[in-house]
Amino acid sequence: MTARPQSLPAPFLKSIRWRSDDRPKDSYPFNLPIFGEDFDLAFTRPVTILVGENATGKSTLLEALAELAGFHAGGGSRDHNYQAPDAQRSVLASHLRAAWLPKVTQGFFFRADSYINLSAYVEEMAIDWPIIRELYGARHLHRQSHGESFLSLFENRLKASSRAFYLLDEPESALSPQRQLHLVRLIHTWARTGRVQIVLATHAPLLMAVPGATLLHLTERGIAEASFQTTPHFQIMAEFCRNPDSVIAQAVAASDG
């Protein structure tokens, strides 16, 4: 008796690279250091974490991935259809070729900076909230604190029951450290199923430490794989924990100067 083939596990998006040499190399975002001539980014694990200073291209890269996956540019999935000031098509995506195996159409693009637009759309769509409580939780998103609303979305809308591709842009922005640890558990649980691929951008050392994740450090020199302990984010927080008075004194002295 022939065994049935097993479904291919995450990661489903295997790589992205330039589609051709025809792109405006001297204009933003193509002039960012991470987008060099040999840009070819491979995804080898279910979880990929993007880390870097502001303006290094983390959100820009996630926006391009969202368009390649067919998600709403302002945040959401393929089935979201709403007008938002931040719902602009990625100029980068049209110049990238994505390699999928298999192509996954289910998923979600979470943008912390435009979450208010997405949640307002969900509230308007839910004339009778109980009908969609299985998607977004028992409580209205607007009747919770910002952090509670984030977690309600992550726990209820982002499931691992089928193949899915999740993009998270600074999901820690409204979460306390304790809630960030809860998100770490969620991400780790999704990844262990083999049915979910996650790419997230973060400044939070706690999220950088998701077990088994690939951490990519974006700098002025490009993109390189790193451990979370070597990132400036972790090192600054570690130094603060060792000697908080000294770290704060130096910061204040620098501002006074």
Residue 125 lies in a domain: yes
Could you tell me if residue 83 is inside a domain?
Answer: yes
8 domain-assigned? no
State residue 82's pLDDT score. 74
Q: How far apart are CA 152 and CA 117, in angstroms?
A: 16
* 135 inside domain: yes
What are φ and ψ of residue 78, in 5° steps?
A: -65, -30
Quick one: average pLDDT of 160-168?
Answer: 94
In this prediction, residue 147 carries a pLDDT of: 77
Same domain, 109 and 182: yes
The answer on 149 and 257 residing in a single domain is: no
| Whether residue 166 sits in one domain with residue 48 | yes
> Could you tell me if 110 and 217 lie in one domain?
yes
Task: Name residue 50's beta-bridge partners.
Answer: 201, 216
Give phi and psi for 151, each to the nearest 5: -65, -35
- 55 contact partners, CB below 8 Å, separation of at least 6: none
Closest of 106, 191, 186, 196 to residue 151, by C-alpha: 186
> In terms of domains, do 87 and 106 share one?
yes
* Residues 35 and 68 reside in one and the same domain: yes
Residues 196 and 257 in one domain: no
Torsion of CA 156, 162, 168, 173, to 10 degrees: 20
The CATH number of whichever domain residue 23 belongs to comes to 3.40.50.300
3 falls within a domain: no
**Residue written as tokens 């070729």?**
97
Confidence of residue 116 (pLDDT cuts 50, 70, 90): confident
Asked if 66 and 170 sit in the same domain, the reply is yes
In a domain, 5, yes or no: no
- Residue 257 within a domain: yes
pLDDT one-digit tens code per residue, 30-81: 999 999 999 999 999 999 999 999 999 999 999 999 999 999 888 988 887 7
Grade residue 138 by pLDDT with cuts at 50, 70 and 90: low
The pLDDT score that the predictor gives to residue 4 is 44
Overall domain count for the chain = 2
pLDDT at res. 85:
64
Whether 76 and 51 share a structural domain? yes
| 207 in a structural domain | yes
Q: Structural domain of residue 39, as residue ranges?
A: 13-226
Q: Are residues 65 and 135 in the same domain?
A: yes
- Using an 8 Å Cβ cutoff, are 52 and 217 in contact? yes
Q: Are residues 141 and 169 in the same domain?
A: yes
Same domain, yes or no: 241 and 207? no
pLDDT (tens digit per residue) in 210-238:
999 999 999 999 999 999 999 999 999 99
The sign one gets for the Cα dihedral 63, 67, 69, 71 is positive
Q: How far is CA 197 from CA 103, 117, 164, 166, 192, in A?
A: 12, 25, 6, 6, 10
